[in-house]
Amino acid sequence: MSTSRKVALVTGSATGAGRACAVRFAKLGFAVVVNYSKSEADAHETVRLVEAEGAPALLCKANVAVEAEVRAMVEAARAAFGRLDVLVNNAGTTHFVAHTDLDGLTDQVWEDIFGVNVMGTFYCTRAALPLLKAVKGNVVNVTSVAGLTGQGSSIPYCASKAALNCMTQSLARAFGPDVRVNAVAPGPINTRWLAGREAHIAKFLEQAPLGRAADPDDVADVVLYLATGTTLTTGQVLVVDGGRTM
């Protein structure tokens, strides 16, 4: 099957910013590939919300850290819709480990975080590139201000997001002018990740001129801008944290 509709694949779109992006693409008339690895019930709700906007949805379970699952997901998108215009690499993970607890940073912690945040983004982008090049599409990576400041849930998390910021630039140089590659770097986002960490977030926001954490739609605003609102922007990491990082 092929479609004249544009198509967006949003990894980690069962909840939070990923879901917000999926729904916003649907509002623009895109068909949406909804991806999840564990949160199946939430992913079905995202599909319902996409379809409520009158857009087709394809649900794909895939752990982005497993290349075979990524390739199967991209092939399913191609088979269902015949094209891919936007890839949003939103799936991410972390472990909360104090930065002074170096002994708590086991090999498994490093592998878990880099497997999803860095290798997962790479696997998805590599698999999607032929489809994106065919339509001069684009990639938006969801990274973090942690990759710019070294402050975040753990040292490996910060390092993974710094790597993702750099990968964004490398891919943009390598695949222009056919494919644009950009990133959005949020500060704290009001999702279930922040539950129980309100005091830490309040301290973070003391230095933010706008004085609040991001909502999922604040992140989606920037993802949609980079994907659909500009044609001469590539290799950029756009910070969305209320002005704390500047």
Q: How far apart are CA 228 and CA 214, in angstroms?
A: 21
Q: b/e string for 170-189 if b means 16 or more Cβ within 10 A?
A: ebbeebeeebbbbbbbbbbb
Q: Which residues pair with 184 in a beta bridge?
A: 142, 238
Q: How far apart are CA 155 and CA 102, in angstroms?
A: 9
pLDDT classification of 230: cutoffs 50, 70, 90: very high
Computed over its alpha carbons, how large is the radius of gyration of the chain?
Answer: 17
Phi/psi of residue 137, nearest 5 degrees: -85, -165
Cβ pair 213, 187 in contact under 8 A: yes
Q: How far apart are CA 118 and CA 156, in angstroms?
A: 11
Catalytic residue among 36, 123, 157, 225: 157
195, two tokens: 């539950």
* Length of the chain in terms of residues written: 246
Q: How far apart are CA 3 and CA 65, in angstroms?
A: 29
pLDDT digits (tens, 9 = 90+) for 100-127: 999 999 999 999 999 999 999 999 999 9
Question: Domain 7-240 falls in which CATH fold?
Answer: Rossmann fold (3.40.50)
Sequence ranges of the domains in the chain: 7-240
In the predicted model, is pLDDT for residue 1 greater than 60? no
pLDDT digits (tens, 9 = 90+) for 121-157: 999 999 999 999 999 999 999 999 999 999 999 999 9
The gap from C-alpha 239 to its chain's centroid, in whole angstroms, comes to 14
157 given a catalytic annotation: yes
In the predicted model, is pLDDT for residue 35 greater than 70? yes
